[in-house]
Amino acid sequence: MSVKEISRNKVFGGWHIQYTHQSDTLNCDMRFAIFIPHNATQSNPVPAIYWLSGLTCTDENFMQKAGAFGKASELGIAIIASDTSPRGESVANAEDYDLGQGAGFYLNATRQPWANHYQMYDYVTEELPNIVETNFAVSNIKSIAGHSMGGHGAITIGLKNPDQYRSISAFSPICNPINVPWGQKAFSTYLGDNRDSWLEYDSVELLKKSRSVLPILVDQGDLDGFLTEQLKPETLIEAANLNQSPVQVRMQSGYDHSYYFISSFIDEHIQFHAKYLFAD
Amino acid sequence: MSVKEISRNKVFGGWHIQYTHQSDTLNCDMRFAIFIPHNATQSNPVPAIYWLSGLTCTDENFMQKAGAFGKASELGIAIIASDTSPRGESVANAEDYDLGQGAGFYLNATRQPWANHYQMYDYVTEELPNIVETNFAVSNIKSIAGHSMGGHGAITIGLKNPDQYRSISAFSPICNPINVPWGQKAFSTYLGDNRDSWLEYDSVELLKKSRSVLPILVDQGDLDGFLTEQLKPETLIEAANLNQSPVQVRMQSGYDHSYYFISSFIDEHIQFHAKYLFAD
């Protein structure tokens, strides 16, 4: 449970800090980053938003580009950015950008050689919050958010753990991975050909099965190059309507898949989560 | 004067666009980026802040990491990010990070092989604004800002061209380059050993010579690793006091040299410039 600080920057009165630690879940060394607002103290631990990034990203993309710290500082919310997969020379990898390191898809792999390390679902839902709540002035009151592959991660993880999170939000999520190329490639590789095992990692299938307890906010740019082939927000809307799940999908005119898009609406996402993080 | 668009992202209702063009001043192809707020039209051209980046940077660092577009959009100000030197295989270069490509120091080189291309002072003060004002809904009302080497560039360029700019701001500027290693290395290489030729590119020397017409805002982190050896803000304060120049230097406790620092105060810099950009 010990963490080692590797960088520290003051930002908006609080601190952005990167840590490494030995992950028992992933069986390798991992890095994550945390923003701790200035008002966080041991006697006043702050709630947190856990951020899951997209394909090829690390803990750094969101922290450097999203422009989230002004609002998080103002509201007194910590932000934790996970890496997107296990890492290291001993960790299985692939040549492709959408498989292996940088592409963990926030699931627990069952096929070798992936299963030894690719247990990102357990890492994000158990080990990482345990480390954060043990080492920092951060409470166990949390929400979850992400982008693209990380939007898929945020929605599936939130839907499956409604007691652990207060709210869910996503930018440009892969809504229905079992029916799109990115998801089919990853799931067949990490989980095998039995498609029944895929269903528990698919936001649309989870929403079809039961109503979401948690509120979900999704922003999607209509000029996103991945919109029709990989993301398919219409499948999420349809599934949410089946059981009247509290899902709001906002199509944003002219926006693409980039962090320029995320930065334009991140304050609204933080404000959305704050409503639930600070509710009694 | 023709420019070629190479990327475009909607952000905060406006557009971040990268262009390339053939630079007559620098004798090579150059790239720059512009943020155009949504309210800019041919009949309502907006004022602009020209941003100069630090060593090793391109047009991208500020645009991706500073978090400036929310405030610029709100106030209706364009931002133009220049590259930091001429570029290309035919352009003289050096092995070191603080010389050659990525390290133009915003001056006009007089020594070969640098003089053929390293005319960044003329590029920033003449060619780039001409291109911007010709091609976009941007007026000739402008201010100038920058970071580190670009803070040096912003202050020296603003001081030497008070009719062209309305205000100057800088983060962590190299205040007195003729007396620090970065500046001495660059100036002796680009300008030669006659130190008289260095004086016109030194903010402290310019301020000693005459009072600044333009208001200058400087933010400097007190945990900046370059503070005492390379930046020396105390020399700027001293020179400003000699002639009662309107220079405000704010030491910011706990901050470093990074874009985390810049992002924390960029809104205040934009607000500072807005006061003068929108003055009658």
Per-residue pLDDT of chain A (280 residues; tens, 9 = 90+): 789 999 999 999 999 999 999 999 999 999 999 999 999 999 999 999 999 999 999 999 999 999 999 999 999 999 999 999 999 999 999 999 999 999 999 999 999 999 999 999 999 999 999 999 999 999 999 999 999 999 999 999 999 999 999 999 999 999 999 999 999 999 999 999 999 999 999 999 999 999 999 999 999 999 999 999 999 999 999 999 999 999 999 999 999 999 999 999 999 999 999 999 999 7
Nearest to B254 among A10, A255, A264 (CB): A10
The pLDDT of residue A34: 98
Note whether A10 contacts B261, CB cutoff 8 Å: yes
Closest C-alpha to A1, from A133, A165, A142: A133
Report how far apart, in Å, the C-alpha atoms of B35 and of each of A110, B5, B73 are. 47, 13, 9
- Active site includes B212? no
Q: Give the active site residue among A16, A117, A152, A257.
A: A257
CB contact under 8 A, B69 and A10: no
Backbone angles phi, psi at A120, to 5 degrees: -65, -30
Confidence (pLDDT) at A160: 98
Structure confidence at residue A280 (pLDDT): 79
Q: Which residues pair with B35 in a beta bridge?
A: B16, B79
Minimum-distance CB partner of B256 among A10, A64, A254: A10
- The CA distance from B70 to the nearest CA of chain A, in Å, is 7
- At A209 the pLDDT is 97
Q: Where are the domains of chain B?
A: 4-277
Across all residues in chain B, what is the average pLDDT?
98
Distance from CA of A257 to the nearest CA of B (A): 9
**Cross-chain residue pair A69–B263, CB shorter than 8 Å:** yes
| Residue listed under structure tokens 């030669």 | B192
Any A CB within 8 A of B264 CB: yes
Rounded CA gap, B138 and B41, in Å?
Answer: 8
Q: Report yes or no for ipTM above 0.90.
A: yes
Number of helical H runs and strand E runs in chain B: 9, 9
Options A203, A224, A245, A269, the catalytic residue: A224
CB distance B264–A67 less than 8 Å? no
HEC readout, chain A: CCCEEEEEEEECCEEEEEEEEEECCCCEEEEEEEEECCCCECCECEEEEEEECCCCCCCHHHHHHCCCHHHHHHHCCEEEECCCCCCCCCCCCCCCCCCECCECCCCECCCCCCCCCCEHHHHHHHHHHHHHHHHCCEEEEEEEEEECHHHHHHHHHHHHCCCCEEEEEEECCCCCHHHCHHHHHHHHHHHCCCHHHHHHHCHHHHHHHCCCCCCEEEEEECCCCCHHHHHCHHHHHHHHHHCCCCEEEEEECCCCCCHHHHHHHHHHHHHHHHHHHCCC
Chain position carrying tokens 């209702």: B13
Token representation of residue A98: 């959408």
Q: Where are the alpha helices (DSSP H) in chain B?
A: 60-65, 69-75, 120-122, 128-135, 149-160, 181-191, 203-209, 233-242, 259-277
Token pair listed for B279? 């003055």
Query: Is A148 annotated as catalytic?
Result: yes
Instruction: Return the SS3 of B176.
Output: coil
Q: Hey, is the C-beta of B71 within 8 angstroms of any chain A C-beta?
A: no
DSSP-assigned letter for residue B111: S
Q: Mind telling me how many Å the CA of A261 is from chain B's nearest CA? A: 6
**Per-residue pLDDT at B280:** 79
Report the residue of chain B nearest A70, measured CA to CA.
B264
Q: Which residues of chain B have pLDDT under 50?
A: none
Burial classification of residue B1, based on how many CB atoms lie within 10 Å of its CB (0-12 exposed, 13-18 middle, 19 or more buried) = exposed
Mutation for testing the A interface, residue in B7, B11, B265 having most A CBs under 10 Å? B11
**CA of A268, closest CA in chain B: separation in Å?**
12
Find chain A residues with C-beta within 8 A of B223's C-beta: 10
- The per-residue pLDDT for B168 is 98
B271 in contact with A at a CB cutoff of 8 Å? no
The span from the first CA to the last CA of chain B, in angstroms, equals 30
Contacting residues of B for A10, CB less than 8 Å apart: 221, 223, 254-256, 260-261, 264
Is the CB of residue B225 less than 8 Å away from at least one CB of chain A? no
Amino acid at B37: P
Contact A259 B64 (CB under 8 A): yes
Contact residues, chain B, for A255 at CB < 8 Å = 10
Which chain A residue is nearest to residue B60, measuring alpha carbons?
A65
What is the rounded CA–CA span in Å between residue B253 and residue A75? 21
The answer to whether A271 faces chain B, any CB pair under 8 Å, is no
Question: Given an 8 Å threshold on Cβ–Cβ distance, is A264 in contact with B10?
Answer: yes
Assess whether B98 carries a catalytic annotation. no
**Token pair for A155:** 């929605």
Query: Which residues sit opposite B33 in a β-bridge?
Result: B18, B81
Please check whether residue A3 is in contact with residue A135, taking contact to mean a CB–CB distance below 8 angstroms.
yes
Report the C-alpha gap between B256 and A11 in whole angstroms: 9
Q: Which CATH superfamily groups domain B4-277?
A: Alpha/Beta hydrolase fold, catalytic domain (3.40.50.1820)
Give the tens place of pLDDT for each residue, A227-256.
999 999 999 999 999 999 999 999 999 999
pLDDT at position A66: 98
